[in-house]
Amino acid sequence: MINVLCFAHLKEQVGQEQLELARDELTVKELLQELHEQHSIDTDSLIVAVNEEYADVDDVIKSGDTVALIPPVSGG
């Protein structure tokens, strides 16, 4: 099981802070495809963080990892 954290407009769009994916292992790219298909999330401008570090498209996510969907930031 992989937990995916949502922030900002994504949280509002998805309607919850967290999504659960019943998968043991997948790449960042596969994760985004799945989110797009299952939750209609526009993944075009998203960046993925795995365990609080920005991840590459080919990085592998495993069950138990903390994944976060990061829309373009606007702090400061």
Quote the CA–CA distance of 73 and 76 in Å, as a whole number: 9
Compare residues 23 and 29 and give the one whose CB is closer to other proteins: 29
Compare residues 7 and 24 and give the one whose CB is closer to other proteins: 7
Quote the CA–CA distance of 17 and 12 in Å, as a whole number: 8
Compare residues 51 and 63 and give the one whose CB is closer to other proteins: 51
Could you list the residues that contact other proteins (CB under 8 A)? 5, 7-9, 11-12, 28-29, 32, 43-49, 52, 54-57, 68, 70-76
Structure tokens at 46: 């998203």
